[in-house]
Amino acid sequence: MITPPNRLRVMAVAQADDSVSDLPEFRMPAEWQPHAGTWLSWPHNRETWPGCFDEAQTAMVAATAAMAEVEPIRINVLDAQHERVVERLLETCVPRQQIEFHRIATNDAWIRDHGAIFVVRVHGGNAAETRQALDFRFNAWGGKYPPFDLDDAVAGKMAAALGVPRVRYEIVLEGGSIDVNGAGALLTTEQCLLSPNRNPGLDRSGVEARLREAFGVSTVVWLVAGIAGDDTDGHIDELTRFVDERIVVTAIETNADDPNHAVLAANRSALERARVDECALEIVDLPMPAPVYYRGQRLPASYANFYVANDAVLVPQFDDPADAAAVSILAECFPGRRVVGIDCRALVVGLGGLHCLTQQIPAVPGGLS
């Protein structure tokens, strides 16, 4: 049983003057707010992409090239040999000065879930914001894919590499399970964060308390569940995303015979009932692609797994008639940003996508330090 929430439950591994009992307020900026860069863990586990690992790497190269045009890229690699391999993959399409490699070994590539989640800490008064790295326990989506010991250690190593304080939370939480508007509201699903394979000692109120504390939010909007083929137990980044403080895009399945139809309709109903600062959300419907299968397995293909970089939005594409509609909708949501379609047919074989493979580093005054 996990102890009831309070600030003493947080173990801060930080600068010497950061006492556990006197942690400042902090918040997680929205993804569309300015980045200092994007962090990746480069794919290497061929079992994740059986029979299509090379194609998945090709998609990763395309995504990295698009991101590198608008912000610096940090990449976790296994060792010096792996670094040379990735450097060769990127040498013709990404300027070398845009990349910084980190020899941080991983079990797999899903940095959104195993990596640090960066927040900004407000010191009070006129003091500037600084970054902090949140380090949650990682158990491979409820113990589904052992081993995960390397992945569970990544967040702390990222904090050290960036030279920022680490705040350790002894609860299981993946970055793909939450989405924030940067102004006090957070989206998640009951299926994931109330799953007994994460934190069986926490009920809904206990989970909410930790979300409020960790991410500096006052409102938690609970959706119901995730899409067919999603092995994460309903990550929000396959379903519904903030695109402004009170605007969300949400995946909708119009085919009543598809198993996603009912659950996505239930999620939309939950959004209609939600209030953020006592105001209703503006809801923008995002189509679903036709079902995508690989070797007979339904895959979690969704346009909601887009990634917002500085001046660009990367949108999954599945060689589907709905691809263009998804690009158009997200272009309207992010005026002034270039929208780049990335072929994700191979990436989604790994049961994840663009958002799952990326983690933003929020910008603060004074740069990366």
* Helices then strands, each counted (H, E), the chain: 10, 22
Pairing of strands 219-223, 185-189: parallel
Residue 279 annotated in active site: no
Catalytic residue among 52, 192, 344, 356: 356
- The alpha helices in 195-307, defined as continuous H runs, are 204-215, 260-273
- Pairwise CA distance, residues 101 & 104, whole Å: 9
Q: Provide CB contacts within 8 A for 26, sequence distance 6+.
A: 119, 120, 121, 122, 132, 216
Q: What share of the chain is helix, strand, coil (3-state, %, to 5)?
A: 30, 25, 45
Helices (H), 163-259: 190-193, 204-215
13, with CB counted inside 10 A (0-12, 13-18, 19+), is: middle
Q: Report the amino acid identity of residue 51.
A: G
Nearest-10 Cα torsion for 70, 306, 318, 75: 60
| Planar angle of CA 248, 360, 184, nearest 5 degrees | 45
With CA atoms as reference, report the closest residue to 48 among 280, 335, 357, 283. 357
- The residue assigned the tokens 């309709």 is 265
- The torsion region of residue 132 among left (phi > 0), alpha (psi -120 to 50) and beta comes to beta
- Cα–Cα distance between 166 and 162 in angstroms, integer? 10
Pairing of strands 282-287, 279-280: unpaired
Positions marked catalytic: 356
